[in-house]
Amino acid sequence: MAIKNWPKDEQPREKLLARGPAALSDAELLALFLGTGCKGLDVMENARLLLKDHGPLRRLLDLSAPKLKKLPGLGPARACELVAALELADRHLRAQLDRGESMREPQSAIRYFKQRLRGRPHEVFAALFLDTRNRTLAFEELFTGTIDAATIYPREVVRRALLHNAAAVIVSHNHPSGSAEPSAADRQITRHLQEALNLVGVRLLDHVVVGEGTPVSMAERGWLEPALTFRG
């Protein structure tokens, strides 16, 4: 059934306006972007087919513009529009962490790390260095490893924190295998990092593990002391 024949409150555009974008499924969001179907498929059927053959959504959206343009219902124009929209979203997220604006809640950093690290083929350990008001001083990818491990040196994290004159640090690494659940080794290195940073008066606010789905915040799990706090 064509979308125009759906009940009004179930049509993607009307649902988004009434309930916000979070109320839409991946297929509905993709259909809303595509606008029209192709080759005998209505737009929802086309969206579902794209997700079935090239999904899940993250894997589909990670494709480059030259690959996207070859997919049914896209073509060069829509492929470029989609990549441009994703880049705008990425820049908007980065702008929220620019120096001059204090992070008001920990989810800002979690979203940022998720955007930067998810989908990387190897483990990457990164850090956000913050001033006394939790404004971003710098973002750095400090260590890169293999598909399932990265060697982390607390001394180097301390050195970079002092170089940036940071008052606090939030660190993160990704699990290319998919599961964001922290390992025993992840928790151990977090303790070592916190001890090393405490010696120079720098707070470790959180260690975020990025995988498929929702990232895991060790601060939210209660595995860091003192607990994660944000100052306005």
pLDDT per position as a tens digit, 103-113: 666 777 888 88
Count how many Cα atoms sit within 13 Å of the Cα of residue 129 in the half-sphere of its side chain. Answer: 18
Is 197 in the same domain as 177?
Answer: yes
Instruction: Among 70, 94, 118, give the residue marking a domain's end.
Output: 94
Residues 26 and 71 both lie in one domain: yes
Q: Which long-range contacts (CB under 8 A, 24 or more apart) does 149-158 make?
A: 149/123, 150/122, 150/123, 150/124, 150/125, 152/125, 152/189, 152/193, 154/189, 154/192, 154/193, 154/195, 154/196, 154/197, 155/196, 157/127, 157/193, 157/196, 157/197, 158/196, 158/197, 158/199, 158/200, 158/202
pLDDT tens digit sequence for 44-92: 888 998 998 887 887 888 888 999 999 988 889 988 998 898 888 777 7
pTM equals 0.69
> How many domains does the chain contain in total?
2
**Residue 201 placed within a domain:** yes
Beta-sheet strands, E only, within 8-135: 124-130
Regarding whether 171 and 70 lie in a shared domain, the answer is: no
Domain of residue 212, CATH code? 3.40.140.10
224: in domain: no
In the chain, pLDDT over 70 holds for what percent of residues? 86
Are 173 and 124 in contact by the 8 Å Cβ rule? The answer is yes
- Quote the domain boundaries for residue 75: 3-94
Residue 114 lies in a domain: yes
CA–CA gap between residue 39 and residue 89 (Å, rounded): 30
Q: Give a yes or no: residue 186 inside a domain.
A: yes
Q: Which residues are within 8 A (CB) of 164 and not within 5 positions of it... i.e. 6 or more apart?
A: 129, 137, 138
